[in-house]
Chains A and B, each alone.
Chain A
Amino acid sequence: MRYQGYTGKYLEVDLTTGRIETRPVEDKLAETYLGANGFGTRLLWERVGPEVDPLSPENIIVFATGPLNGTLMPNSGRMEVITKSPLTGIYGDSNAGGFLGPELKFAGVDFVVFSGRAAAPVYLRIEDGRAELRDARHLWGKDTFETEELIQKELRDPGIKVACIGPAGENLVRYACIQATMSRSFGRVGGGAVMGSKNLKALAVRGFGPVRIADPEKFYEVATRSHFGIRGNDIYPAVSRYGTPGIVSIMNGIGRFPTKNFQLGGYDQADKINAEALREQYFVKDVACYGCPVACDKIYRVDEGPYAGTEVRSFEYETLGGYGASILNPRLDSIIKAGDLCDRLGLDVISVSRAISFAMELYDRGILKKEAFDGLNPVWGNIEDALELTRRIAYKQGIGALLSQGVRRAAAEIGHGADHYAMEVKGQEIASQDGRAQQSMGLAHVTSSRGADHLKGFPTIDETGYPTEARRRYGEQYLPDMADPRSTKFKGFLIKDGEDYAAVVDAVGTCKSGGNFVLAQLYWDDVAGAVRYATGMELDADGLKVIGERIVNLQRAYNALHGISRKDDRLPKRLLTEPNYQSTKEGSVCRLEEMLPEYYNLRGWDAENGLPTVARLRQLALDDVVERLGPKLKP
């Protein structure tokens, strides 16, 4: 390969035959899709058709890095897993920080593609470009932390980076996550179940090689400027001190903290589970991902009470929302316990907690009866039974089996209007991010290629009003509306730009929180510079934007192959009709229809079918998409 930044090699692993091949990464692939999710999207498009069941051997699961992973750029530790999702049945990807991505690069591998199904449990070991499949029968049934430790012991190297599944993935829970070293997870879309279906327990990586850079002087310049920029950003001290839990109070204050399964927009006990309470009572230590000056990850430990001895890492806002406000549980130590439990069992905290609040609401409304719960009492706030329900979901016991399919499938099976309480889009559960209090968030959930998601469009600058960054990025002409969370004006624009930029940020391998969105320090020019000097590609901000758009459009096209169109771009009725009441403020609903036309228009998508037009696809050099989707498309 003529570009630096990449290692230029990838592994093709057929689990059915046990064959592993090392292949070159084509220049063309890097030029058109950049890396990570870009590569994965292309591979899914080419290899996994609509007829493929996500849990069959024909599905693939790709672990992919980008050209900036393992470099000098701040927070360049993030990598992607791409697969067809067993939760949504469409395009799926998930991102994790930590050290796995850089380690894969140091091991001389850009990405790994798994296909097929092993006859018995295995794990893949990679060390400096060499790879082997190893027996994992003794690891099957073990939780994620045990698995990581056992592999490190077995290979006699505590520096090995392990990504693995827990019982939930083995049992094919549709939202099982992949734990990526102790503190990080590929949380969403059910990649854990795909690994489980392939009898693939883990990936263990070690590397001692370099990541080479095309223009060291210029790259160093961009990297150091980015580091000091982030460290000098106004909100750096707060993000660094509190991490994502820091937004509990902020979100609660604006009615954007989904409570009681989205019945309310704020929680009257939020101050018991906010970042200050957490820090004061349980904080142990700051922990960073590779190359990150922010260190939003923390270790928290419970020393007293029924959960004494519990310790969590990467304990996020979402756990506080999901196992706190969403089920009306104000006990912080129990939420820490829930976080630890989900990590060990290998469950996506967002989906599983939403499944539980869904079940609690159905019980409350008499749609699910007491008998369904086998002795549990799923009333609001009963955290003990919520924890037990979490376990039963991972092991698919009793009602756990029903809920393990995700709320959409569960609601369809339950009937009796249960779907009204299933807070999902395209089959994926909505995170603690409420589109009623922040209009653009509702749009983001709907347009995201992986089903309900806040991280694809990732609107942060209108969350609470962040006019400084809005001004810096978009200029004065969109203010004040753009920074106003309740306004729908310019939100189509905000989400489109956010999605394109996020696609690129994911593709290069850096973090959205630590510099690009939450801490909105870096933007197109910075990333373009970094990619140009790291790789040696002729690329500027405009070129990068085209790649971002191409990735987003190909994901949409992939979903269109699976029947997705305008009709699926919808929110649960609750968000459109029931205001996010909270004690102090008037509620509002999400005015989705005011934003969608602007979005489609800017995308160059047809407003009727919600699909890219032929003209748009050709502009993005996606001619093969035009051919394959054929009559579905408008000119």
Chain B
Amino acid sequence: MRIQLNPEKCTGCQICEAFCSFKKERAVWPARSRISVLKWEKEGVFIPFVCQQCERAACYEVCPVGAIARNEETGAMEVDESRCLGCKMCVTACPFGGVAYDPDRGRAIKCDLCGGQPECVKMCPTGALSFEREEKNALARKRQGAERLAKYIDAIGR
């Protein structure tokens, strides 16, 4: 399972950030949210972004104490807080900025898929976030691509 991001539907409301941070920090704290909405206000482009729980995860590879491991049930790469040194190697290594650092607790923080029930997906009002099986994901992507192609063919046809 993976959180699928559909930026074209995102309105930039940041509800996902508010609820994610609340679930994890018990305060509304977008700066500590595991999911972030990147915004280009002028262009009107909003892109939600969150760890994609990579197959060969750089954070996992680079962690010197084995504090990051996959939760076999949910598929999430999780940080074991009791082991984490706060060395920030994972923060540096993730090519997508999927891991952040909490200076107060001196720990790496990242999305853990909320134990299989992602809060952000539950609260996102637009469908910009969805939680789906990989197979369905792949098919959905293909369908999206095909739709674009259909439009394109239609446009040339006319």
Contacts and interface: CB of A to CB of B under 8 A. Distances in A.
Interface in A50-85: 70-72
A290 B125 contact: no
A70 to B, nearest CB: 6
A295 to B, nearest CB: 4
B15 A209 contact: no
B28 A213 contact: yes
A293 B126 CA distance: 8
A106 B123 contact: no
B25 interface: yes
Given A71-B18, A72-B22, A149-B42, A288 B12 contact: yes
B27 A211 contact: yes
A291 B22 contact: no
Interface stretch (A87-95, A166-174, A279-287, A415-423): A279-287
B13 A290 contact: yes
A99 B18 CA distance: 13
A288 B11 contact: yes
> Chain A binding site: helix, strand, loop or mixed by DSSP?
loop
A227 interface: yes
Contacts of A290: 13-14
Contacts of B18: 70-72, 291
Nearest to A75: B13
Interface in B74-132: 123, 125-126
B13 A292 contact: yes
Q: Which of B15, B28, B41 has the most CB of A within 10 A?
A: B28
B43 to A, nearest CB: 9
B19 interface: yes
B123 A286 contact: no
Q: Interface extent on A, as a size class?
A: 35 or more
Interface string A448-470: 00000000000000000000000
A563 interface: no
A355 B79 CA distance: 62
Nearest to B30: A106
Contact of B15 (A99, A211, A291): A291
Contacts of A209: 29, 31
B157 interface: no
Nearest to A313: B44
B12 A210 contact: no
Given A181-B41, A210-B32, A227-B123, A287 B11 contact: yes
Contacts of B126: 286, 295
Contacts of B125: 227, 231, 293, 295
Nearest to B124: A293
B13 A182 contact: no
A216 B26 contact: yes
A212 interface: yes
A179 to B, nearest CB: 13
A210 B15 contact: no
A289 interface: yes
A284 B44 contact: yes
A210 B18 CA distance: 10
Contacts of B15: 227, 291-293
Nearest to A217: B26
Contacts of A291: 13-15, 18
Nearest to B14: A290
Nearest to A105: B28
A298 to B, nearest CB: 10
Contact of A289 (B13, B29, B41): B13
A284 B28 CA distance: 31
A210 B13 contact: no
A288 B13 contact: yes
A299 interface: yes
Given A181-B41, A208-B31, A231-B125, A216 B22 contact: yes
A140 interface: no
Interface in A574-597: none
A213 B26 contact: yes
Nearest to B22: A72
Interface in B114-155: 123, 125-126
Contacts of B14: 99, 290-291
Contact of B19 (A72, A106, A182, A212): A72
Contacts of B30: 106
Given A285-B44, A286-B11, A211 B123 contact: no
A28 to B, nearest CB: 25
A71 B26 CA distance: 11
Q: Which of B13, B25, B39, B123 has the most CB of A within 10 A?
A: B13
A373 interface: no
A192 B19 CA distance: 35
A287 B12 contact: yes
Contacts of A288: 11-13
B28 A210 contact: yes
A159 B125 CA distance: 23
A220 interface: yes
Contacts of A286: 11, 126
Interface in A301-317: 313
A22 interface: no
A377 interface: no
Contacts of B32: 210
A497 B113 CA distance: 44
A295 B13 contact: yes
Contacts of A289: 13
5 contacts: A182-B41, A208-B31, A216-B22, A231-B125, A313-B44
Interface of B: 11-15, 18-19, 21-22, 25-32, 39-42, 44, 123, 125-126
Given A70-B18, A292-B11, A295-B126, 20 more contacts: A72-B22, A99-B14, A106-B30, A182-B41, A182-B42, A183-B41, A209-B29, A210-B28, A210-B31, A211-B28, A213-B27, A213-B28, A216-B22, A216-B26, A227-B123, A284-B44, A285-B44, A286-B126, A291-B15, A293-B13
